[in-house]
Chains A and B, each alone.
Chain A
Amino acid sequence: MNIIGISAFFHDSAASLIIDGKIVSAAQEERFSRLKFDKRFPEKSIEFCLQNASLRFQDIDAVIFFEKPQVKFNRIMENIIKYSPFTFKQYMSALPEWVGGKLTLRNRLKKFIKRKCKNWKGKIMFSEHHLSHAASAFYPSPYKDAAVVVMDAVGESASTSIHIGEGNILRPLLEQNFPHSLGMLYSAFTSHCGFKVNSGEYKLMGLAPYGQPKYTNLIKDHLININEDGSFTLNLKYFKFHRDLKMTNINFNKLFKCAPRKPEAEIDSIYMDLAASIQKVTEEIIELIIRHAKKITNKNNLCLAGGVALNCVANGKVLGEKIFDNIWVQPAAGDAGGSLGAALAANHLYFGKERIFNLDKDLMNGSLLGPDYTSKETRELLIQSGANFKEEDETQIIKILTSQISKGKIVGLFNGRMEFGPRALGSRSIIGDPRNKEMQKTMNIKVKFRESFRPFAPAVLKENCSEYFELDSDSPYMLFTAKVHENKLIKSEENLKTEFSLDDVNNLRSSIPAVTHIDNSARIQTVDENSNYFFWNFLKNFKKETGCPILINTSFNIRGEPIVCTPIDAFKCFMGTDIDILVINRFIMFKEEQNMNIYKDYKKNYELD
C-alpha cells in the first residue's frame, strides 16, 4: 500500500511517501522552491516522492492531508467572533485565504491529482493535526508501546496533547486548546525579543544562556497559570495573537518595562534575561506535562513531536530527570513532519496495517529521506555550474578533509540523501574543527552571515559521546542538549562568571570551544555507523589523525536560505561564502581553483530570517 502524506498552508510544507508501512521518502517544499519555510502546496515534494520511488500517481492508494481544514476554520471563526470587534485585522487577513481555497481543500486535492492521473481510484483523507504529530513520533520510534506528547503552537484547536501508543494503535487521552498554548507563549517572547515568529524560536533558545532568569516569577504570576498536572491557562490580557496579527500588547511591554526589540537592533541584557526566563518557565511546564503523561500512561518510553519538541535544551533537561527510561523525538517535529505522521496514521489506524518496528533502531533511516544524486547527475550539474572539480575515492576525500579541517579550513559537505526536518546531520552540512577558537566567529559571520551569539553543534562519534558530554543516551538528530564534560572545560576566572555579555562568546571555555555554548552546553549529534556511514567514517578518521572525535556540524545554507538540496545549490552557496572546500559525494572542489567571478552577491538573494 502506497500512501502520500501532505502538510501545507501554514508553515514549512512537505510531502512524505510510505510504501507498505516503510518510510521511503520525505522532503520539505522549501528545499526545492528555495523559499524558506515555503507554505504553498508541496507539488515539488510530491513529485520528488513519486520519482524517488519510481511510482506514478496511479500507484498511490491514498493521499492524506495532515490536518482537518474545516475544524481549523471553525476554530478561527469562533475566535474571530469571540474577540470581535478586535479581530478585524485577523479576519481580513485570514478570510481571503480560506475562502480562496483552504476551505475547499478536498476539491483542490482532487484537481491536483486529476492533473497527474485522470482516473485515480485512491482515497483522499484528512488526519487531525495532533494525531499527525503523535503518529510521526510513535510509529517510527523503536518502542512497542509509549506515551506520546505533542506540544506546538496550534493545529485545529489543540495546542498540547497526550496520547498512548500500543502496537499499531494510537489513542488520544488528553488535550489542551488554543489560545492556551506553550508554542504561542514562547513565540510571544520570540517576537518581543526581535526575532521572527516560527523561525526565531531557535535563536531565543540560543540567547537564553546569556541571560539570567530574573522574570520567571513575573511570568508565572501574571502571564500564565500553571496547574500541577502540566495544564495551564494564559492570561490573555497580555497577548494579542488570539485576536490580531501581533503576538503581544502594551500590557506585556509595561509588565517587563521594556518595548519590543527592533529586528537586527543590538541585543540589550533585558532581552537576554527575558529569553532565559521564558526558557526556564517552558522547561518547568514541559516537565510537568511529561510527568503527567507518565502518571496517566505508566509507560517506560516517551515519544515527542510538535514544534516545541525542537526545544533541545528542554528535551535535554527532561532526559536528565529520567521521568521515562527512554525518549525518542521525531526529527521533523514541526509541521513538515505532520505529513509523515498523517501517512503513518492512515496506514495503521485507518487501514489497520501491522506495525513494522525494530527495538534497536528507529524507522527514520537517520532522517535521510530526501533526494540524492548519482555521479553522472552530479558531474553534469557541476559542469553546468562552471565548477572546477576532481573525482576522488572516499578514503582519499576523507584524508584531504581531515587534513584541511585541522588546518582551519571550512568544508561544505554534501553527501547522499538530504535530511528531512530542520537539522542538517552530515548530508547537507558545513563542517569545521571544534578545537579552533576562531571557528565559531568565522563560521557565524563569514560563512553563515548570521548573528554572532549563535552556537554551533558538535557531531560526535557515538562511542566517544560520554567522554566529552554529560549525555548517556543517543542523540542522532541533534535534539538533546547536554553539558560539556567537566574535564574538557578550561577553568579560568572569565569562565566562572554567571553573567554574560555577547562578547563572552569568544572566551575559550573548553577544549572544543567552537561547540561549547556560553553555559558550557552543547546541542549534540551522536553519529554511528548505521545512521550515516560516510560521516561516521569521516569522524573516525578525524579522531585517528587529531585525537578529537568531534566536528562542528551546521546546516549547509546561509541565513534566510533553505538548506541546499541539489549540487547546484551547494556550489552556489560555496561560491557565495567563505567555505574553503566543497565535497559533493565523490567530487571535491577547492575555492582557490574556482572562477571567482561566479555568484558574488549571493547574500542578497535571501531575506533575513
Chain B
Amino acid sequence: MKLFLFLIYFILIVPIGIIRTLLGVFLRNKNSHSNWKIKTHYSDMNKTK
C-alpha cells in the first residue's frame, strides 16, 4: 500500500502539480481588495459532495 501511494505521488501528483504551477503563473489574480467569495446556496444534503 505504502509503495503504491509512493509511486502515485511521484508519477502522477508531482507532474500534475508542476503543470498547474506553470499555468498558475499566467492565471494569477493579484491586487484583490477582498478575499470573500459569494455563496448563494448550500449543496444538496443527500450528497457527499
Interface residues of A (CB under 8 A from B): 64, 68-71, 74, 80-85, 87-88, 91-92, 95-96, 105-106, 123, 125-128, 131, 161-162, 171-177, 180, 227-229, 231-233, 292, 345-346, 349-350
Q: Which of B5-47 contact A (CB under 8 A)?
A: 5-6, 9-10, 13-14, 16-18, 20-21, 33-43, 45-47
User: Taking the nearest CB of chain B, how far is it from the CB of A79, in angstroms?
Assistant: 10
- Cβ contacts under 8 Å, B21 to chain A: 82
Instruction: Report yes or no: A174 in contact with B38, Cβ–Cβ below 8 A.
Output: yes
Q: Could you say which of B16, B37, B43 contacts A175, with CB atoms under 8 Å apart?
A: B37
Q: Could you say which of B5, B38, B45, B48 contacts A349, with CB atoms under 8 Å apart?
A: B45
Instruction: Report yes or no: A174 in contact with B9, Cβ–Cβ below 8 A.
Output: no
Instruction: Report yes or no: B35 in contact with A231, Cβ–Cβ below 8 A.
Output: yes
In the complex, the chain B residue whose C-beta lies closest to that of A80 is: B13
Q: Could you say which of B20, B33, B43 contacts A227, with CB atoms under 8 Å apart?
A: B33
Asked whether A172 and B45 contact (CB < 8 A) given A81-B17, A231-B35, A233-B35, the answer is no
In the complex, the chain A residue whose C-beta lies closest to that of B19 is: A81
Interface residues of B (CB under 8 A from A): 1-2, 5-6, 9-10, 13-14, 16-18, 20-21, 33-43, 45-49
User: Taking the nearest CB of chain B, how far is it from the CB of A385, in angstroms?
Assistant: 44
In the complex, the chain A residue whose C-beta lies closest to that of B48 is: A70
Pick the 6 closest A-B CB pairs, nearest first: A84-B17, A70-B49, A231-B35, A172-B39, A174-B36, A70-B48
Report the Cα distance A375→B39, complex, angstroms: 51
8 more CB-based (< 8 A) A-B contacts, given A174-B37, A177-B37: A82-B17, A83-B17, A92-B6, A126-B45, A175-B39, A227-B33, A227-B35, A231-B35
In the complex, the chain B residue whose C-beta lies closest to that of A170 is: B42
* A to B CB contacts below 8 Å, 5 in the list: A68-B47, A81-B20, A87-B13, A92-B5, A349-B42
Report the Cα distance A162→B37, complex, angstroms: 10
Report the Cα distance A229→B38, complex, angstroms: 13
Instruction: Report yes or no: B39 in contact with A161, Cβ–Cβ below 8 A.
Output: yes
Instruction: Report yes or no: B46 in contact with A85, Cβ–Cβ below 8 A.
Output: no
Asked whether A71 and B1 contact (CB < 8 A) given A172-B42, A174-B38, the answer is no
Instruction: Report yes or no: A232 in contact with B45, Cβ–Cβ below 8 A.
Output: no
Report the Cα distance A91→B6, complex, angstroms: 9
Instruction: Report yes or no: B45 in contact with A84, Cβ–Cβ below 8 A.
Output: no
Instruction: Report yes or no: A346 in contact with B45, Cβ–Cβ below 8 A.
Output: yes
User: Taking the nearest CB of chain A, how far is it from the CB of B35, in angstroms?
Assistant: 4
Instruction: Report yes or no: B9 in contact with A84, Cβ–Cβ below 8 A.
Output: yes
Instruction: Report yes or no: A85 in contact with B14, Cβ–Cβ below 8 A.
Output: yes
In the complex, the chain A residue whose C-beta lies closest to that of B40 is: A172
Instruction: Report yes or no: B46 in contact with A125, Cβ–Cβ below 8 A.
Output: yes
- Which of A81, A176, A231: most chain B CB closer than 10 A? A81
User: Taking the nearest CB of chain B, how far is it from the CB of A94, in angstroms?
Assistant: 10
Instruction: Report yes or no: A131 in contact with B42, Cβ–Cβ below 8 A.
Output: yes
Instruction: Report yes or no: A127 in contact with B37, Cβ–Cβ below 8 A.
Output: no
- Cβ contacts under 8 Å, A87 to chain B: 13
- Cβ contacts under 8 Å, A68 to chain B: 43, 47-49
- Cβ contacts under 8 Å, B36 to chain A: 162, 174-176, 229, 231, 292
- Cβ contacts under 8 Å, B6 to chain A: 92
Asked whether A106 and B48 contact (CB < 8 A) given A82-B17, A84-B17, A85-B17, the answer is yes
- Cβ contacts under 8 Å, B14 to chain A: 84-85
- Cβ contacts under 8 Å, A349 to chain B: 42, 45
Asked whether A232 and B42 contact (CB < 8 A) given A81-B17, A85-B17, A91-B9, the answer is no
- Cβ contacts under 8 Å, A85 to chain B: 10, 14, 17
